[in-house]
Amino acid sequence: MTTSIDFTDELGRRLAAAKHVVASTGAGASAESGVPTFRDLEGYWSRYSPEELATQAALVRNPILVQSWYAERANRLKSIVPNPCHNSLVEMEEIFPRFDLITQNVDNLHQEAGSTNVVELHGNVRRFYCSECGSDRKNAMPDEIETAVCCEACGGLIRPDVVWFGEILPQENIRYACEAARACDVFLSIGTSSVVYPAAGLAEIAGSSGAFCVEVNIEGSAAAAIMDELCIGPAGRILPALAKLAKTVRRANTKS
Ligand code: BJW
Ligand code: ZN
């Protein structure tokens, strides 16, 4: 196993030959845009309890608190922009015959950067729907919530379109992600602590199916031991270098 931003020759060879690359991103991919992560020192779960904010029971118990937290996050995202990690992943779509971008992030920044085929595993904090009848909420959530926001059709509580603990992931998306992990030649795990399943299992699937697994993170994650290469550093610095390497080795490939 190698630890560096000086990528190994083996990674260069794998990228040169890859027909199918999967990038799987977590909160660290958006950290340099100013979006808090969950489990870092300054992350959401160091300040708030997931049980009080990120469950259906919490919504029913204290709708104003839960709705305000998500509305505030959604509204704050309006002034946040993608960073070089997101932008490099857009470039990578062009480099490989097949490139899948799978994300646990709910911030929509990959789509804003211009990635065209983003598979969302944990939903999107900018969308809201009725927890009773399922209908989409058309209007943006207000900045200040003084009374619980309810569905115009049935009166049910409005919730964010995100996946809370104990909830099933969008089935088609997780199935697609598992198949992509099983079939890819190179798997990039970027900015995730790799503790939340089933998303964390994708790297295991990719590794056991023969893919070359690379982690990009400011520190080794829970999945570090199964990686073939660790790139320790901020994703906004590593991904541009990785995209550059990919372009270089593939250009050399087409010439020879
Ligand atoms: C940088 C950086 C920089 C920082 N550059 N890097 C199998 C085994 C064990 C448990 C389970 C299992 N299967 C299911 C479970 C239960 C549970 C689970 O996994 N629990 C574990 C925590 C123990 N999973 C679920 O409940 C899931 N549902 C499910 O499986 O349904 C079926 C089922 C139900 C019941 C029982 C069994 C099966 C649903 C999970 C939903 C997760 N939801 C959240 C909240 C979304 C809403 C919201 O945003 O509020 O999703 S939790 C939170 O964690 C969020 C994230 O998407 C997710 C992952 O976090 P992520 O992205 O990895 O962020 P961090 O903060 O953890 O890490 C950031 C990383 O970035 C760090 O490593 C930093 O070092 C790094 N970093 N700056 C590069 N600049
Ligand atoms: Zn409703």
Summarised one tens digit per residue, pLDDT across range 184-239 is 999 999 999 999 999 999 999 999 999 999 999 999 999 999 999 999 999 999 99
At residue 122 the predicted structure's pLDDT band, cuts being 50, 70 and 90, is very high
Tokens at 51, concatenated: 């049980």
CB of 107 within 8 A of CB of 79? no
Kindly report the average pLDDT of the chain as a whole number. 95
Q: How far apart are CA 206 and CA 13, in angstroms?
A: 18
pLDDT, position 132: 97
At residue 64 the predicted structure's pLDDT band, cuts being 50, 70 and 90, is very high
Which atom of ligand 1 is found nearest the CA of 40?
A: 66
Entry pTM: 0.96
Residue of 222, 228, 191, 221 lying closest to 206 (CA atoms): 228
CA torsion 163-83-75-174 (nearest 10°) is: -10
Q: Residue 161, SS3?
A: strand
Average of per-residue pLDDT across 106-132 = 97
Q: How far apart are CA 188 and CA 90, in angstroms?
A: 14
For a mutational test of ligand 1's pocket, the pick from 5, 32, 37, i.e. the residue with the most ligand atoms closer than 8 A to its C-beta, is 37
pLDDT, position 154: 96
Please give all residues whose CB falls under 5 A of ion ligand 2, grouped by chain where several chains appear: 130, 132-133, 151, 153-154, 156
| Residues above pLDDT 90, as percent of the chain | 89
C-alpha dist (Å) from residue 49 to 39, 105, 229: 11, 19, 34
Q: Which ligand is nearest to the CA of 136?
A: 2
Spatial neighbors of 6 by CB under 8 A, at least 6 apart, are none
